Every structure is written in C-alpha cells, then in structure tokens.
A and B are shown apart, each in its own frame.
Chain A
Amino acid sequence: MLSLQHISKYYQTGGNKAYVLNDLSLDIDQGEFVSIMGPSGSGKSTLLNIIGMLDEPTNGYHYFMEQPVHQLKEKQRSALYKQYIGFVFQAYHLIDELTVYENIETPLIYQNIKGAERKALVADMLDRFNIVGKKDLFPAQLSGGQQQLVGIARALIGKPKLLLADEPTGNLNSKQGEEIMELFSKINKEDGVTIIQVTHSEKNAEYGSRIINLLDGRIESTTTL
C-alpha cells in the first residue's frame, strides 16, 4: 500500500545539512498496524507528516496506492489524500467554532457529499462511538478523551484506507489512552483500516503489529509482534 524509498529530509543551516530523515526506506502493507517509536528529534513526526502528505521530503521516492506521490501535482496529491487518509492529532485539533456533529461532518463537505448522505454517515459514526448525546456540544465542553474520540470519528468519517495518528494518547490519562488504543485495534481488525501511529509509550506501541524504532532519522530496528 505504501512504499518509501531512500527518503531524506534536511534543512540547510549555514554550510551544514541538518538531517531529520536520512535515507530511510519503509514498506507498509494493507491492514497493518504500525507503531513508530523513538526519542525526541528522531524524525517520527516528520516521517508521519511525509506519509500523510502534509510535508514533502527533500529527496526520495514515495508511492501510495500504486501512485508515485513524489511526482504528483498538488491537486492530485490533495485528491489522493482526501480519499484515502485520515489524521488524528495529539492536540485533537477540533475546530472550536463547530459542534461535535459539525466537526465530524466537515470532511464530508470537502468531499462534496450530499446533505442527506452526510446526515446518515455522521449519525452512524455518532452511534458507533456512543457520542450521540454529545453531538450538539462544542469541543470546549468535552473532556480530553471525548475530544480525541471525536477526532478519531472525524478521521474515519471519510472511510480512509490509512489512519495516521501523531501521539494520539499524548494528552490523555492512562485509562482514556487505553480506551483509544482498544478502539484503534478494533478499527484495524474489523474495518481493515491500516494504522500508523507515533507514540512514546511502549505499552501503546504493543497494540500494533509492527514497531519501528527511529534514531537520528534512520530506522534503528523493526520488531514484528
């Protein structure tokens, strides 16, 4: 599903190149649940952002769903992204001015889905996540765990093939974190959504099927569970 070959990302500081990712190659198959670990500054988030097309590598080849992403134009990339990828953030990044319902609905609007269909899809999702009663609340009225639940619901509403999560439990307590991770493995198993998460927690990493350890922009080790 996803293939990164000889990906590098560096910043020019003075005469030196500061490498964030250094000649990194990685293949991920459909249905995998990958956890990326590593110390601060090892390039985890950058890697995730490149996979999620929010960031571009300095050089290297990037294939996603058989498409050469590194050759695509902005518009095509955006279309690809819209269709296949969902994003979950550590800081949830819900839109404060929108209700739970509207937050979940927003990606569908950008995919030009008709109103009636949107209604049905959002209702399903609210149902599934057990947050029907909260649909008219604003993010500020929810706890962190609930906000992240909404964030995940929003990421899944467009039926993505790939879910990217940047420290999804980083701002949550351990119980809330556990619930989120349970949810992730359920989504992975039942819906067949490929998941790539960045995490600091060994325990959370073990929910996945493969753990990739990064150090200084390179893959240090890979553990398959």
Chain B
Amino acid sequence: MLKNYLKTAWRNLWKGRVFNIMNIIGLSVAVACCIMLFLTVYYEFSYDKFHTNLDKIHQLYFTKNGADKVEKSTSMPAPLTPAVKAEYQDIKYITRMGNGGTIVRYGNKQIEESIRFVDQDFLKMFTFPVVKGDNASPLKDLNNVVISEFVATAIFGKTNPVGKSIELNYSGEPRSFVVSAVVKDFPQNSSINFDLLLRFENAPEYQANMKSWDHHDHNVFVQLNDNVKPAVFDARLQSFVKKAFKTTIADMKRDGARPDAQGNVYTLNLLPFAYNHFDTELVGLEGNSVNKTYVMALLAIGIFILVIACINFVNLSVARAFTRAREVGVRKTLGANKWQLLSQFWIETLLVCLFALVLGIVIANFALPGFKATFRSQISMNMLLQPVQLAVITGLFILITIIAGLYPALLMMRYKTVMVLKGTVNTVKPGKVRNILLVTQFSLSSLLIVCTLVTWQQIDYLKSKPLGYSKDEVVSIPVGNSVNGARSLELFRNQLNGEPDVVAVSGAYDNMGSGKDGSTRTSIIGFTYKGHDIHTNIQGVSYDYAKTMGIKLLEGRDFSREFTTDSNAVVVNEKMAAQLGGKNVVGTYLPMDDKKPSLIVGVMKNFHFRSLRSEIEPLTLVLSGYEMNYIFVKVRPQNLSKTFSMIERKWKQTFPNADFQGSWVNENTERQYKAEQRLSTIFISGAIIAIIISCIGLLAISFMIMVQRTKEIGIRKVLGANIAGLVLLLSRDFLKLVLLAALIAFPLAWWLMSKWLQSFVYRIDIEWWIFALAAFIAVGIAFITVSFQSIKAALANPVRSLRSE
C-alpha cells in the first residue's frame, strides 16, 4: 500500500510540478533561513551553559543611586574580596579577575598573550578542566601560571609544558613563571576567555591597590553555598557596604543621593552569571554581551518566515486540492476510507516537505559563510546533529506536514462525492480561511517592511548627524602594546612634519568611535568642588588636539607648548562648564587632585565623544597622566586615499614591529552602529524573503481564482468589458486584502519601532509617510504578482472558456 501511495504521490507531484516547485522553493528558502536563525538563537542561549556551577555563580556590582541617575559598575577594589570572604560564611568560592596583556618569552620564541589575574577559587568555580599538570591546586604558588591548550601549542608545540619556565613581561620588567597546568580550551560560547591565568597577587600595583578602597579595576565572582539564596545574601551584603564605604555614602548623601526602596544609596549586588551574556545594561561584563531584543528579533523573524512559508504551503495545497477533487471522489467510490485518503495526502505532503528540508539544508550550507559574516554568528552546520536539534527538527517537520497537509486533505474530503463526480464543485466560495492566511502573510511582510524603513532612516540619521568635530579628514591610529604611546606620538609627529597633506597631528587616551583595535576606554573621575560632587569624563590628550579634531573653542585657548604650566591645565566642554556653574570658568582651578589643583584654560563646544545612543556628558581634557593610546592625523581633503597610504607607509617605516591599524574616524563612528546595521540587514533580508514567499503563495492563489472565474470573465468579455477593467476587477479583491494586512501590521510596527528608537537619545520621529510607503510597497508588489494571472485571464479568448461549460 505504501508503495502504491508513494507512486501516486510522485506522479501527482510531477503532474503539478509548477505548483510544487514554487512550493518547494518557498519552503526550502524558509527552512534555510530558519536553520540559520534558530541555530544562532540557540547558540546565543547556550552561552556559558558548560559551567557545571552556572546557577550558583554570581558577579558582584555596585549600584550608586545618585541625585539624578542610577549608576551600576562591576569594577571592584582589591581589598574587597578578602574582606567579604572573611565576613560571610555563605560564600563557597570567591575570585577576583583582572586583565592584562603580556609578552611571553620561551627560548627564543616571543608572542603576545592576554592575562587574567585570578584567585585560586577561579578554577574551582568555573568549568575549565585541567588536562595536564596539577589538577588539585594549579595556582598554589605565586609563580604558577596556568595556560590554555591553544597557548600551550603556540608556545611549546608538542613538548609537555608542565613544569617549564616562561618569562612574562607585563609590567615593564620580565618575570619568570612556572607552568603548573594546562586547561582545556574554553568553548566558543564562553563569556570568559583567557590565554594565561596568574595569581591576582601578581597584578601590577597589587600592594598599593590592596590599601585603596577607591581604586576599582577588576571583576569579582562569587559562588554561594548551595543552600544560600542570592536575594538573601544580596540583602545581607549591605551591612558590609555601609561599614566599608562609609565616606562614599556620606559624600553621596551630601550631594542629594536618592535612596532606593530599602533606603540605601550605595549597594553591592549580585548578577547571576547565567544572565551575563544578555545583560547589556551593566558596563564591563565579560565577553560580548548581546541584546536580548536582537536575539528575539532573530527568533521572531525565523518564526515569521516559517509561518509565512507554511501558510503558502497550505494555500498552494488547497489550490492543488481543488483540481484533485475528482480523484478524491473516484477513490471514495472505489472504497477508500477517510484515513486511507488522509494518509495518501499526508505522504504527498511529507515528500514535498522532505524535498524542501533537504534543499533547505543545502541552501543553508551555501549561505552559511555569508550569514556568519553578516550577523557575526558562530554557528556551524554540525550543530544540527546534536540530539536536541535533531529532535526539534523532526518534531517541527512532522508538525508542519500534519498542519499543512491535513487541512487541504480535510477540505477535499468535505466535497460531496456526487457533486464532484458531476463536476459541479467549481462553485466553491472563496475561502475565509484562505483570506485570513493571506492577510496574516502580508501583515508579517508589511511589519518587516516598516521595520526596515525605520531602521534605515535611523541609521542614516546617525551617520549624517553632525558630531561637533571633523570626522572625515582625520585618521585614527591605535598605537598598540608593543610601543610606548607618548614616545611614539612624538616620533611619528616628527616623521609627518613637513608633509604637505598633513594639517595636524595629535594623540589621545581614548579613540573616537570604535577603531580597528575594537577597544574603547572610559575614565571618569569624581571630586568635590565648592561643596558639590562633580563627575567628569577624562580624556588624556596631546597638543593640537582641538585643531586636529576640529573642535571649536568657545572661551580661552587650547593647550600650548608655550605655557609650561599647561601640564597641569585642563580644557573642559560646555557641559562640564555648566556643571561648574557656567559663566567664567576659564581661569578657575579644579581640585581634581588634592595636592595640585588644575587650571581651566579653555572651554570647548560640546561634541559627541560617545555614540549617539547617549547624551553628551561632562568632559575634561588633560595633558598629562594618561597613556597616548591613539594617534590622530588630520589631513587635507584632497587625495584622501593617497594620503592614507602615505601615513601607513610612514608608520611602517617608523615602527617596523607594530601593526598599522589606522582608519578614518568616520569609519570608526559608523562602526559604533554595527549592531544597528546588523539589525537592519536582518530586517531587510527577512522582509525580502517574507515578501518573496508571500508572493509565491499569492501567485498560486490568483491562479486558482482565475480558473474559478474563467466563465465569469468570458461572459463579461462577451458583454463588452475591456482588458484594463477586467484586470482591475480581478486584482481588486487581493489588493483589498493586502491593504487590510498592512493596516493591521502598522500599529504593531509603530509600537515595536518606537520602543527600539527609545534606546537612542538622538533619534528620528516615525513619520506617517513611512507607513504610506510601506503600504504602497506591499500593495504594489502584490499587484504586480496578481497581474501576471489577471492579465492572462483577461486576455483569454472567451469562446474557449464558455464552450467548456
């Protein structure tokens, strides 16, 4: 019986191959999209799941309930960890984690690696199993170093590294460490990554930092005892905070801090490490946190596309079923019962779906490299072979075949056998279900169109908004670790001196936008000024910074080599000046440092030194005390690319050992909105795919309707209707449905996009014409699709259609 079913199924599929190919194309594209999107979503949700103690690990962070805003910070002072551990029995393990970079020397090999300074508990809390060496206490001695397998191969090749000595230079002087253990490489979906683990006591300035509760520079993770509830522990921590940060709390209260519900202004809290990957609110978390909305958008679009494709499948099958009603009737007279007929149609559906699945996997395989690059996804097709994924795919597959195959089959069963055999079934009314499905498809498509338009507009706005400094003619070069910043700046400035295309050269502590090195630095200091707590961003700069960056000075002057006292001077922005009292701040002294107050020599116009997601904050430029991490070169607007190559050449001549990672500042500022651009790419791809699949369905339905209305068209033509009138008549019903779909989608789209826009301080308003445009696009595409069939039907010779009656 099965063989017979398969045979008829195959012949039927072949007979309706135009329909079925459309069906399979639509479905397989959807399958490919869903595979990639759902795998990405799965991957994001799988972050850090490999830690066996994941649920018990928490990261500490401070919450500061200031007068006008709540600030959260994960940076901790060094003495906090031992103090908390001594105070609370609830803590099973606790570890600090500081960062550093080092040059590793072994024999005559020399490579750059990153360091994590941790406490001994680190390897007990997190699941980074030791594969070679001391398993019990790998960081027992201060001169122990634990390395990852990857680093072990990089340094030692095939020889066993355990017990070997390596020389690390991370603080200016080389020190020798003994490799005590090699740990398994962390998986890609790990928030915490490392090359070398050293004891925290080896961190630079450790002794000094242990005496200071004000210097916050590392993260702290705790694992609570099994029976301790995080919320309870969180509450208990506050007595410690009150004791240890007495002065901070007193200062905050003086400045009008607003206490939280429990009456605390400064608290120490726990963030479950399991949330780490999705927490984009807390600054300074490990790994690349992703916004959950972004992941949810992927999931939603995947579901949209799947739903649209399934609807198509149902509609196409119904259209086909319509032509096969006679077969069903005949089979019934030959003694087929309901289940036999249902299983026959289910097998056909199964075959189509199977084709689509296989084709979809093939498409996904081809599309994967592009997808991974565009969406920064780490997935691979092998991930499909895990039991969970296989089960989900099989389940989803069967579910879809049942829904998409059974409904049309049931519809066919409903036809009265006698009517079918007489050939009077043609009078079926246009299905309500079909219309609902069509509206659903186009609602989802319109939703995606609106999302695309809004994100495009917002990104365009972000890119074109003036930032208050010149970004088009400035090259930013990250200095890198291998050379000293201030010295290399002087060297490079001399090298470029006299180049006709170079206008000015300067350096700074923090970059503008996001450079090719991918780093951003934030330095904020607070001090008391005239009885107020003042907070300001600090940017360490070199001479000519304002000139190089094209920043306008409102009052006073920029730093100058002619004033030797400028090493202790500052230039502030308007916002900072306002905070200090507004008028006449030039010439006043700021007690930023207790011993040496700094003189304000200039006030500059506000400029967007951070992304447009946030407001302009107070900013203070200082000349000394900060590393020069970036060199800025302002060039003449002519021959930009030639000048850029000249700068690169000069850089390589001057620093043969350092990479050149320079880029235009406008590239850097655009790079800040990569997440937004990715989102818009997702929307536009989703929208295009959704529309294509919807249109395939529309095409099939219009085909079916035209067949049903052949006689009517023939009669109208005989009565004198013209072609244009007929096309309009035939298309009108569809266009009404698409328009309705668009109207349904708009409120949802408006709500979603206004929520998204709220994450930007500087944003566009959603204008009415975006909706009009979206509706126009949807209706236009639908009209073109339908007109393929309607024009054909309208042009047909009426004699033929009427004769067949």
Chain A positions within 8 Å of B, measured between CB atoms, are 49, 52, 54-55, 75, 78, 81-82, 87, 89, 91, 93-98, 102, 105-107, 109-112, 154, 158
B337 touches A78 (CB 8 A): yes
CB distance from A180 to the nearest CB of B (A): 19
B340 touches A97 (CB 8 A): no
Contacts known (A54-B418, A93-B421); A107 close to B335, Cβ less than 8 A: yes
B326 touches A93 (CB 8 A): yes
User: Which chain A residues lie closer than 8 Å to B418 at the CB level?
Assistant: 49, 54-55
User: Which chain B residues lie closer than 8 Å to A111 at the CB level?
Assistant: 335
User: Which chain A residues lie closer than 8 Å to B340 at the CB level?
Assistant: 110
B397-434 interface code vs A (CB 8 A; 1 in, 0 out):
00000000000000000000110010000000000000
B334 touches A107 (CB 8 A): yes
A106 touches B334 (CB 8 A): yes
Q: Is residue B290 contacting chain A, with contact meaning CB distance below 8 A?
A: no
A87 touches B11 (CB 8 A): no
User: Which chain A residues lie closer than 8 Å to B326 at the CB level?
Assistant: 93
What is the CA–CA distance of A82 and B331 in the complex, to the nearest angstrom? 11
Q: Is residue B12 contacting chain A, with contact meaning CB distance below 8 A?
A: yes
Q: Is residue B495 contacting chain A, with contact meaning CB distance below 8 A?
A: no
For residues 148 through 179 of chain B, which have their beta carbon under 8 Å from a beta carbon of chain A? none
What is the CA–CA distance of A49 and B419 in the complex, to the nearest angstrom? 11
B331 touches A106 (CB 8 A): yes
User: Which chain B residues lie closer than 8 Å to A102 at the CB level?
Assistant: 4, 7-8
B417 touches A93 (CB 8 A): no
What is the CA–CA distance of A107 and B15 in the complex, to the nearest angstrom? 23
Partner of A110, one of B7, B12, B337, B417: B337
Q: Is residue B1 contacting chain A, with contact meaning CB distance below 8 A?
A: yes
Contacts known (A107-B334, A110-B336, A111-B335); A97 close to B421, Cβ less than 8 A: no
B421 touches A154 (CB 8 A): no
CB distance from B397 to the nearest CB of A (A): 26
Partner of B333, one of A54, A75, A109, A112: A54
A87 touches B333 (CB 8 A): yes
CB-CB nearest 4 A-B residue pairs? A82-B335, A110-B335, A97-B11, A107-B334
User: Which chain B residues lie closer than 8 Å to A110 at the CB level?
Assistant: 331, 334-337, 340
What is the CA–CA distance of A10 and B12 in the complex, to the nearest angstrom? 38
- Known: A52-B333, A96-B15, A102-B4; 17 extra A-B contacts, CB below 8 A, are A49-B418, A78-B335, A78-B337, A91-B421, A93-B329, A93-B330, A95-B330, A97-B327, A102-B7, A105-B4, A106-B331, A106-B334, A110-B331, A110-B335, A110-B337, A110-B340, A158-B335
Contacts known (A54-B418, A89-B421, A110-B340); A95 close to B333, Cβ less than 8 A: no
A81 touches B8 (CB 8 A): no
Identify 18 residue pairs between A and B in the complex whose beta-carbon atoms are under 8 Å apart, listed by A's number: A54-B421, A81-B335, A82-B335, A91-B421, A93-B329, A93-B421, A95-B8, A95-B330, A97-B11, A97-B327, A98-B8, A102-B4, A102-B7, A106-B4, A107-B334, A109-B4, A110-B331, A154-B334
User: Which chain A residues lie closer than 8 Å to B421 at the CB level?
Assistant: 54, 89, 91, 93
What is the CA–CA distance of A49 and B11 in the complex, to the nearest angstrom? 30
User: Which chain A residues lie closer than 8 Å to B4 at the CB level?
Assistant: 102, 105-106, 109
A97 touches B8 (CB 8 A): yes
What is the CA–CA distance of A112 and B215 in the complex, to the nearest angstrom? 84
User: Which chain B residues lie closer than 8 Å to A89 at the CB level?
Assistant: 421
Identify the closest chain B residue to A110 (Cβ).
Answer: B335
What is the CA–CA distance of A98 and B331 in the complex, to the nearest angstrom? 12
CB distance from A145 to the nearest CB of B (A): 19
What is the CA–CA distance of A41 and B388 in the complex, to the nearest angstrom? 63
For residues 421 through 451 of chain B, which have their beta carbon under 8 Å from a beta carbon of chain A? 421
For residues 307 through 348 of chain B, which have their beta carbon under 8 Å from a beta carbon of chain A? 326-327, 329-331, 333-337, 340
User: Which chain B residues lie closer than 8 Å to A109 at the CB level?
Assistant: 1, 4
Identify the closest chain A residue to B9 (Cβ).
Answer: A97
User: Which chain A residues lie closer than 8 Å to B330 at the CB level?
Assistant: 93-95
User: Which chain A residues lie closer than 8 Å to B335 at the CB level?
Assistant: 78, 81-82, 107, 110-111, 158
